[in-house]
Structure 1
Amino acid sequence: MAAAPATLVIATRASRLALWQAEHVQVRLQALYPACRVSLLTMTTRGDQILDRTLSKIGGKGLFVKELETALLDGRADLAVHSLKDVPVDMQSPFALSVILERDDPRDAFVSNDYPSLDALPAGAIVGTSSLRRESQIRQQFPQLKIQALRGNLDTRLGKLDRGDYAAIILAAAGLRRLGLESRIRGYLSIEQSLPAAGQGALGIEILERRSDMHAWLAPLASAEATACTLAERAVSRVLGGSCQVPLAAFAQLDGGTLRVDALVAEPDGSRIIRAHISGPVASAVQLGEQVAGDLLEKGARDILSRLLPADSAS
């Protein structure tokens, strides 16, 4: 292993949740390498700046990582910490997803000041979400509700709810828990009710692929279980050309040495949701993800994808 690092710089978005995530990695690294000075480089990404349009209309998840990647390239930072669900699944050279850390709760959370659950919302109630994945699943189960786009960081979204713009909002449970806001959660959407996004609840660390020293230094942070599950989920998304333009979900669970992968592709309005699942050995995580994606394509997902994505995006 390379000699212990003397300094490390972590690139991070400037939002409160992104800073929590970067500081979490900072603490972990300082515990591993007590003599190392670990600092943060905070940045505002284009995805943080454009708040009046949905991600599917402005370029997708990559908008949250480009500026951080530039910092890696020009040497201002050694690593970048991301919510894994925001990391494009087709990461290209010279970048590499080095490690995936332990996963927090992957479920979606129901947040409301006036209602205990989606079932309790009256017809016409406005539900805010930033995700076509969530929107399609909610629309199928609760066609009487009105879904509206919700952008901004976590505090901004909660502020819009508190202002009365929405009767309820749907957020990733992990983000609320990490910021000590678990009391805002009125209930959790079950995996069956709202299948999570690939990588939801997990943190990923991006580096330059040529940095073998960084690979070695970061290796102790990796979670074998979270890595297996999220690699399977990301394989589903990669095969299907996953982006914010597609209501796509993938979630893997480990039981002993067996990995179960559930996935879906949906029409944005929820009128049709195609589901598939597969189980197999954890050592075949990526292949299992690819297989369940193939099952979805055979069941009719190709038709949905052909209308929502450019012609060459899906296999």
Structure 2
Amino acid sequence: MKRKIIVGSRRSKLALTQSNWVINKLKEQYPEFDFEIKEIVTKGDRILDVTLSKVGGKGLFVSEVEQALSNSTIDFAVHSMKDVPSSLEEGLVIGAIPKRESPLDCFVFNQVSSLDDLPKGAIVGTSSLRRAAQLLKHRPDFNIRPIRGNIDTRLQKLHVENFDAIILAKAGLARMGWLENTTLKLEDIAPEVCLTAVGQGALAIECRESDQLIRDMLATIHHEETGICVEAERVFLKKLNGGCEIPIAGFATKIGEQIHFKGLVGNADGSKILESKEIGENPGQIGNKVAEVLLSEGAETIIEELRNK
């Protein structure tokens, strides 16, 4: 009789698509196992009428899943890396980070087809303070309004609630197969306009530190370059003690042996944005150094002001 591996996943279409992708990759290596998805509804899924920054706390989309891991209800969990707090629950580890999808944000437009064509005062939907702050720096005339829900819901709201544009992660659209949808008016947002979230485009497969069988299994789908880049980003996030209530961005790429990392912290209206870049070979050192530079330039004050609001 085959051993059954229980995989924890959020209930959204995107989360289930991501979990099935991971399962199919593992089945190629381990046909002797059966895999079953256990759907878990998280706090972030239940509370949809409040912006993420006001729901409070870290791990809005992972805490219930981590609890299921800790009590052995599931064997591993598939998360979007950008949802995973920089500190995991005790006894849990990231067992694998597969190759990253596009880290970019992208506009989905209602009528126009380009950022430059959006009218003065355009209504742009996003519940991300990171996206809002950077867009307002670029276009202070934008009317940023919160929009929550899964990808399907937000695409419906684009037209029903008369947004001029909404912002989605390109990776989610790619994984759902919607980049080929010719009815969607899409445009990538350049990192110079909107630097991406830490870990955006990457998956995090979390498991128990003590479960060597699962750890060995997950190691077969780990992508080393993605893991190195995400490490720099997450060290940066941890040093700043950042969460969704703070406009923080960080993105690393690896070119040859060199890691190129840029980090950003800003206030909510984009009137003050701090940025720093670093190049080196040690991801942890690079992430720490960029965070330390931003802290020396006043990031701590910005973060404290936002947390005390």
Bucket of the pairwise TM-score, normalised by the shorter protein: over 0.9
Deviation at 1:126, TM superposition (A): 0.6
Structure 1: distance between partners of 2:234 and 2:162: 34
> Relative to 1, partners in 2 of residues 1:89 and 1:296: Cα closer, same or farther, differing over 3 Å?
same
The SS at the match of 2:220 is helix
Q: Deviations over 1:98-124 (max 9, x none)?
A: 111110000000101211122211112
Shift of 1:61: 4.6
Alignment partner of 1:221: what SS?
coil
Pick the aligned partner of 1:133 from 106, 119, 130: 130
Please say if residues 110 and 163 of structure 2, whose CA atoms lie closer than 8 Å, have aligned partners that are also in contact.
no
- 2:268 matched residue in structure 1: 268
Counterparts of 2:295 and 2:233, CA distance in 1: 15
1:167 aligns to 2:161 (yes or no):
no
Q: Is 2:113 aligned against 1:142?
A: no
Higher mean alpha-carbon deviation, 70-79 vs 6-15, is at 70-79
List alignment gaps of at least 5 residues for structure 2.
Answer: none
Name the counterpart of 1:313: none
SS at match of 2:32: coil
* Cα separation, partners in 2 of 1:217 and 1:185, compared to 1, 3 Å: farther
Q: Does 1:26 align with 2:23?
A: yes
Q: Distance in 2 between matches of 1:308 and 1:266?
A: 10
Is 1:77 aligned with 2:57?
A: no
Query: Are residues 1:93 and 2:90 paired?
Result: yes
Residue 291 of structure 1: CA displacement?
0.7
- For residue 48 of structure 2, give the secondary structure of its aligned residue in structure 1: coil
Query: Which one of 293, 297, 300 corresponds to residue 302 of structure 1?
Result: 300
SS in 2 for 1:67: helix
1:241-252 correspondence runs (5 A): 241-252=241-252
Query: 1:37 and 2:57 equivalent?
Result: no
Q: Which residue of 1 aligns with 2:240?
A: 240
Residue 216 of structure 1 pairs with residue 213 of structure 2: no
- Separation (CA, whole Å) in 2 of partners of 1:292 and 1:53: 32
Q: 1-side partners of 2:200 and 2:44: how far apart?
A: 18
Which residue is equivalent to 2:117? 120
2:244 & 2:194 partners in 1: Cα distance? 16
- In the TM superposition, residue 7 of structure 1 has moved relative to its aligned partner by 2.1
Structure 1 equivalent of residue 154 of structure 2: 157
CA contact (8 A) 2:113 2:185 kept: no
Which whole-Å CA distance do the structure 2 matches of 1:140 and 1:87 have between them?
27
Letter of the structure 2 residue corresponding to residue 294 of structure 1: E
Size of the aligned set, in residue pairs, is 304
Distance 1:209 1:309 in 2: 32
Cα separation, 2, equivalents of 1:165 and 1:74: 45
What TM-score, normalized by structure 1, do the two folds share? 0.94
Contact 2:59 2:83 in 1 (8 A): yes
Alpha-carbon distance in 2 for matches of 1:240, 1:251: 15
**1:181-192 superposed matches below 5 A:** 181-182=178-179, 183=181, 184-192=184-192
Deviation digits for residues 205-231 of structure 1 (CA, Å, limit 9, x no counterpart): 111122122211111110011101111
Q: Given the alignment, which residue of 289, 292, 295 partners 1:291?
A: 289
Counterpart of 1:98 in 2: which secondary structure? strand
Deviations 1:65-97 (A, max 9, x none): 122122212222100000000001111312211
Cα drift, residue 164 of structure 1: 3.8
> 8 Å contact 1:55–1:61 — kept in the other structure?
no
Helix, strand or coil for the counterpart of 1:195? coil
1:9 aligns with 2:6: yes
In structure 2, what is the Cα distance between the partners aligned to 1:203 and 1:164? 31
1:186-210 Cα distance to aligned partner (Å, 9 max, x none): 2100111110000000001111122
Identity %: 42
Q: Secondary structure at the match of 2:59?
A: helix
Question: Deviating runs (4+, > 4 A) in structure 1?
Answer: none
Give the Å deviation of 1:185.
4.9
**Superposition deviation, residue 125 in structure 1:** 1.5
CA contact (8 A) 1:29 1:38 kept: no
Q: In structure 2, how many angstroms separate the alpha carbons of the residues matched to 1:24 and 1:14?
A: 15
Tell me the SS of whatever aligns to 1:186: strand
Distance apart, 1:6 and its partner CA: 2.6
Alpha-carbon separation, structure 1, partners of 2:265 and 2:120: 26
Alpha-carbon distance in structure 2 between the residues aligned to 1:44 and 1:280: 40
Distance (whole Å) between structure 2 residues aligned to residue 113 and residue 147 of structure 1: 15
The one-letter code sitting in structure 2 at the alignment partner of 1:267 is N
